[in-house]
């Protein structure tokens, strides 16, 4: 029949089925786990939508708000868009890879590798600012792949829109713009494009989309930019080797060892490929990596910060012809993610809770909040913003949580808590330091103690902020 759609290749169908199955599995796991502390904190943002926040731009709050519109203020509601973003991002990387390298068609392998990493495998069951950042970074890459394939400059506008949304997700999206500038500057064809208005219009569009966050920071003394930009205080050569080692070990874990090896090999070989797409991927890898390595000279780089490298790294890995290594890397990656899911749901492996990052982040929050609510204090405060967020998310409406940190002053609508001289309770997980201790609490992973807390008497000597329940 003329005009009939061609059936999809069997490999494509199987890969799509796998991605759909993984997405469903991630949704199930996400629904069953307590929120991690930062997730509870971002859920507070979603309850009080603003163009900017003390820590990050607002996109993660919008994602949570959309999920809660479907499933309410539940774990699944908060996390709904995390597995869905991983699914959509995988398709965007798949499509971009095939457009950049039409002869090799590495997209299917790139999508499989993305989902074999622990960063996506575990990261897709929780929601953080990296969730929308990675989605819109992948969308920006996809737009540029279409630009390279078709030569139609209107794709610059799509790229600019996606980059604006990425900037509204996390400020490190500016590294995509910097990488694109070097990509264009280092070739005659690219320099020709810089002489046209299109790349500049794309940047202007990105800044226009990002404008509300700029305006919010202008009205709040640039607090978010100062916080994120003030991490580097000077070179610390004595600890730089330690920080670099931690960064490498972190990437071995998040990429998983087999994918890590393929990514390094593929990126090294990519420099020999004489295509515009290869140059773009190299700059999208080199610029963020150079910034992170510079940061290592002065401070620790969190392993998840390098997630923006993964689309370009894994497309490069997918271009390798080593089928046996590819299959082994995939197998190991999916097994590792599966073990993480099982451990998160059951605590099956006898890992001491203090050495188990899953237990430290996800276990026992409802039980701890129940213990704190039973204390019947006029108010509760803490030196940990994340614990405060867990108290508000899981606590009963009558539990009054007061924040005395500066960050709470940047929430519109939070009421000042006039508590001068009023006694309350102060909860801390920092077991050292001065404290008029009146009790102790424990957060549990199942029946095993995960982390101890001190309960201290507290008398407010300056106004805080009431943190309202979502």
pLDDT in tens, 286-309: 999 999 988 888 878 888 899 999
Strand order in the sheet with 464-466: 402-403, 464-466, 416-417
pLDDT in tens, 89-123: 999 999 999 999 999 999 999 999 999 999 999 88
Cα–Cα distance list, 271 to 16, 181, 278, 280, 304 (Å): 30, 18, 7, 11, 25
Element (H, E) at 416: strand 416-417
Assigned token pair, 2? 């003329």
Q: What is the pLDDT of residue 231?
A: 57
Please give the average per-residue pLDDT across 238-245, as a whole number: 83
Q: What is the pLDDT of residue 5?
A: 61
Q: What is the pLDDT of residue 469?
A: 77
Q: Does the structure show a pLDDT above 60 at 177? A: yes
Strand order in the sheet with 380-382: 380-382, 423-428, 448-459, 437-445
> Out of 146-155, 256-265, 291-300, which region has the weakest mean confidence (pLDDT)?
291-300
Q: Does the structure show a pLDDT above 80 at 246? A: yes
Q: Does the structure show a pLDDT above 90 at 353? A: no
pLDDT in tens, 211-220: 999 999 999 9
CA quadruple 237, 242, 244, 247: dihedral sign: negative
Cα–Cα distance list, 263 to 114, 345, 356 (Å): 11, 30, 27
Assigned token pair, 458? 């507290």
Q: Does the structure show a pLDDT above 90 at 363? A: no
The model's confidence at residue 1, banded by pLDDT at 50, 70 and 90, is very low
Assigned token pair, 417? 């808590």
Q: Three-class SS of residue 274? A: coil
Q: Quick check: 446 and 369 in contact, CB under 8 A?
A: no
Q: How far is the C-alpha of 284 from the C-alpha of 180, rounded, in Å?
A: 7
Q: What is the pLDDT of residue 240?
A: 81
Q: What is the pLDDT of residue 27?
A: 96
3-state secondary structure 301-355: CCHHHHHHHHHHHHHHHHCCCCHHHHHHHHHHHHHHHHHHHHHHHHCCCCCCHHH
CA quadruple 422, 424, 429, 432: dihedral sign: positive
Q: Does the structure show a pLDDT above 70 at 242? A: yes
Mean of per-residue pLDDT scores for the chain = 90
Cα 255-361-47 angle, rounded to 5 deg: 105
């Amino acid at each position: 029949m003329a005009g009939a759609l061609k059936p999809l290749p069997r490999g494509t169908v199987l890969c799509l089925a796998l991605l759909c199955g993984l997405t469903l599995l991630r949704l199930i796991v996400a629904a069953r786990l307590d929120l991690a502390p930062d997730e509870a904190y971002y859920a507070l943002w979603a309850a009080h939508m603003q163009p900017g926040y003390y820590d990050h731009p607002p996109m993660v709050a919008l994602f949570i708000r959309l999920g809660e519109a479907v499933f309410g203020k539940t774990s699944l509601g908060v996390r709904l868009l995390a597995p869905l973003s991983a699914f959509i991002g995988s398709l965007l990387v798949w499509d971009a890879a095939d457009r950049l390298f039409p002869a090799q068609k590495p997209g299917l392998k790139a999508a499989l590798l993305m989902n074999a990493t622990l960063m996506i495998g575990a990261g897709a069951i929780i929601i953080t600012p990296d969730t929308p950042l990675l989605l819109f970074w992948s969308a920006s890459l996809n737009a540029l792949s279409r630009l390279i394939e078709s030569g139609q400059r209107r794709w610059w506008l799509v790229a600019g829109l996606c980059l604006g949304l990425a900037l509204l997700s996390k400020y490190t999206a500016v590294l995509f713009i910097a990488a694109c500038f070097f990509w264009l500057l280092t070739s005659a064809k690219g320099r020709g494009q810089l002489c046209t208005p299109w790349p500049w219009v794309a940047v202007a569009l990105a800044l226009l989309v990002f404008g509300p966050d700029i305006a919010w920071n202008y009205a709040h003394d640039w607090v978010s930019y100062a916080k994120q930009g003030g991490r580097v205080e000077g070179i610390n050569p004595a600890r730089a080797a330690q920080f670099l080692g931690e960064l490498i070990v972190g990437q071995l874990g998040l990429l998983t060892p087999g994918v890590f090896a393929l990514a390094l090999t593929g990126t090294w070989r990519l420099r020999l490929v004489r295509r515009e797409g290869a140059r773009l991927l190299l700059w999208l890898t080199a610029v963020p990596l150079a910034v992170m390595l510079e940061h290592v000279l002065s401070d620790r780089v969190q392993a998840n910060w390098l997630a923006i490298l993964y689309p370009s790294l894994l497309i490069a890995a997918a271009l390798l012809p080593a089928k046996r290594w590819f299959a082994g890397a995939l197998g190991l990656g999916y097994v590792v993610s599966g073990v993480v899911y099982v451990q998160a749901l059951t605590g099956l492996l006898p890992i001491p809770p203090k050495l188990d990052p899953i237990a430290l982040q996800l276990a026992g929050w409802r039980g701890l909040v129940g213990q704190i609510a039973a204390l019947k204090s006029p108010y509760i405060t803490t030196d940990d913003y994340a614990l405060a967020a867990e108290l508000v998310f899981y606590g009963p409406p009558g539990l009054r949580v007061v924040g005395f940190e500066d960050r709470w002053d940047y929430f519109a609508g939070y009421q000042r808590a006039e508590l001068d001289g009023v006694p309350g309770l102060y909860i801390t997980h920092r077991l050292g330091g001065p404290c008029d201790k009146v009790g102790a609490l424990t957060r549990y992973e199942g029946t095993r103690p995960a982390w101890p807390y001190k309960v201290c008497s507290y008398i407010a000597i300056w106004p805080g902020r009431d943190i309202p329940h979502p």
